[in-house]
Amino acid sequence: MVHSFLALSAEAVMALVFPVLIWAVIAYFLLSLIKTLRDGVEHLQQLHRIPCDRCRYYTGSHYLKCPVHPLTAFSQEAIKCQDFESATNSQPHTGCPQPRDKDQLIYRQ
């Protein structure tokens, strides 16, 4: 009789423990997914604060993106760039000055 009581109580405990464990695992998975998505959104917002592509000195070249700060261009250090000048307020920096009319072009033979 004692043996059957223990067997029934063990089965009852297992019937309660397994669903609780399964729901705990599902809740942990959902909470970690939400945390990961929130961290990803925060990281993307941080990356969108990098102003290099809107800067006057941005060259558009893969070899030299910024002639003023080539080592920190397009990194998180560039968020607080002291030399940032908006490209919308002035002409974008194109490297060498371009001649204004065709008569100023120098042709080499």
pLDDT digits over 10-22, tens only?
A: 777 788 889 999 9
Looking up tokens 């371009």 gives 98
Residues 6 or more apart whose Cβ sits within 8 Å of residue 31: none
Is residue 66 within 8 A of residue 57, CB to CB? The reply is yes
Which sequence spans correspond to the domains of the chain? 1-48, 52-96
What is the pLDDT at residue 94? 54
Rounded Cα gap, residues 63 and 66, in angstroms:
9
84 versus 24: the higher-pLDDT residue is 24
Looking up tokens 């800067």 gives 55
Q: Does the structure show a pLDDT above 50 at 109?
A: no
34 versus 94: the higher-pLDDT residue is 34
64 versus 103: the higher-pLDDT residue is 64
Quote the tokens at residue 6: 């223990």
- Overall pTM surpassing 0.75 (yes/no): no
